[in-house]
Structure 1
Amino acid sequence: MAAPADTVVLLLRLAGPLQSWGDNSRFNRRETQPEPTKSGIVGLLAAALGLERGADLTDLTDLSIGVRTDQPGTLLRDFHTVSDYRGVPLKQTGVNAKGLQKPTGPAKYTHVTYRYYLQDAVFVVGLEGRADVVTDLAAAVQRPAFPLALGRRSCPPTQPIMLGHHATNLLQALSTHEWQASDRGRANHLRNTKPATVDLPVTIDDPIGGEVRNDVPVSFGLRDRQFRQRRVRHTTVRIPSGVIDPDPAADGGAVVGHDPFSLLNW
């Protein structure tokens, strides 16, 4: 099914040493989802466009978003402790009649917190929307007004980010673009086999999808952060693995598939 004539798909590569895509975090425990959230992607695009906090995000939230996991990465837990440099007890969240924070009781001098990250993950993100909006985004991503981040400011992306435009629908674009995993990621995925294709998981916006996520930002305002729900569905796409037969004389250097009878020397 082709996309409407006035819509296009922009593909982005989101990769870096660390990423963190939280959607339900507390002060002492900042978790990450296994793939980029819509709020995180919209935040990256808003930074590229130079939008201030509290700006209207409608053009960005109206985009249909799909995420293909090319390399899932591994989970990292970063351990932190918080204390007062003066050596006094930490404060609690409650306040007294004067509006001042109460001290912890019994006195607590150290607070333990955790931060979770994805290490060495690679995602291909598709953004489907009006041609004029997508064109402006493509230009902004290449010359961002503010630094881009993969969920948190401490997680800068590696290059390239831009993968190009596609005059097709979102799922088709994610089904045809080449695999973006690193050499090590490919080796871990293939596990010494030589399949001609690989199946990669995709999460895509779908109004009748089976999962509900509360990660569509209404406002990023510091005192008025709001989110609404969306529905998504999960599927897989099959793309060429790019594996080349190591013996060019055997198949002319062609991409080959796994032969289950090879172990029997048939």
Structure 2
Amino acid sequence: MTSVLALCFDAPMQSWGSRSHGVDRDTALEPTKSGVVGLLAAALGVERDQDEEVARLAALRFGVRVDREGVLERDYHVTQNVPTTSGGGHRTVVSERFYLADALFLVLLEGPHDELERIAGALADPRYRVYFGRKAFVPARPLLPPGTGPRPGTIEQAIAEHPRLGTTPQGVIAEFRTVVDCVPTHPRAEARHDHPVSFAQGKRKHRTRTVVVDTVTPAAGGTPCT
């Protein structure tokens, strides 16, 4: 039987790039698998060229419940004195960088209990600092509350049963968007090119995974990730 580890991703700003090239830096509307695996690798002290460890983390089943959709914002950056590609002289580079403001996500990992226990221990005492896509985008509250850890079950069960992370106006029935790993043969499978293969410098590589996008009305009450 598998276990599930539930994490709270809450911050004033988050950025989850999926198609970033050159000076234009995009963000997905929810955490990417590559971004979350990179965060877990940092907590565990996995180095960029340790492809086997990256594959071990990426093998976990992954899901996200969007408890609060973020507001898409854009930063306009001007960087001076950037060396030219020819090696002679410098130039000024203009770039656009997108991020999500005030977003709140329940991030779920499904897999062997021992592996999730290893991750929970690393998040409690990370080897390297963790952040949400950019070094300045740090968590507003613990990803994993003290004394909590993986529980038996599946992502689907946790998505429906885990208490809401934020508040919902009284009388409002909240439906939250969900994005969960699925088999390619699922009738509603969608492609996401964010399954990490390698984070090695100059050799970053990803492959495609499939997800199903749905909605859920989560359980009220209980203790949220605080």
Whole-angstrom CA distance in 2 between matches of 1:158 and 1:41: 16
Amino acid at match of 2:200: G
Distance 2:25 2:88 in 1: 25
Post-superposition offset of 1:129: 0.5
Preserved contact between residue 55 and residue 196 of structure 2 (Cα < 8 Å): no
Q: Would you say the 8 A contact 1:69–1:202 is kept in 2? A: yes
Aligned length: 213
Query: Computing the radius of gyration over CA atoms, which structure comes out larger, 1 or 2?
Result: 1
Name the amino acid aligned to 1:168.
Answer: G
Identity among equivalent positions (%) equals: 38
Q: Report the Cα distance in structure 1 between the residues aligned to 2:31 and 2:98, rounded to whole angstroms.
A: 14
Contact preservation (8 Å) 1:53, 1:221: yes
CA contact (8 A) 1:198 1:240 kept: no
CA offset digits 1:158-193 (Å, max 9, x no partner)? 212115422111111111111112x5xx3xxx4xx6
Runs of 4+ in 1 over 3 A off after TM superposition: 100-104
Separation of aligned partners in 2, 1:232 and 1:240: 23
Map 1:1-266 onto structure 2 (within 5 A). Answer: 4=1, 7-55=2-50, 56=52, 57-84=54-81, 91=84, 93=85, 100-101=86-87, 109-162=91-144, 164-181=149-166, 183=167, 186=168, 190=169, 194-195=171-172, 197-208=173-184, 209=186, 210-241=189-220
How far the C-alpha of 1:239 sits from its partner, in A, is 1.8
- Kept in 2, the 8 Å contact 1:50–1:145? The answer is yes
Kindly provide the amino acid, as one letter, of the partner of residue 223 in structure 1. Answer: G
Once residues 226 and 240 of structure 1 are traced to their aligned partners in structure 2, the CA distance between those partners, rounded to angstroms, is 38
Please state whether the residue corresponding to 1:198 is helix, strand or coil.
coil
> Given residue 19 of structure 1, which amino acid in structure 2 is its aligned partner?
Q
Gaps spanning 5+ residues in structure 1: where?
A: 94-99, 243-266
Cα RMSD (Å): 1.9
> Do the aligned partners of 2:32 and 2:194 also contact (CA within 8 Å) in 1?
yes
Unaligned runs of 5+ in 2: 222-226
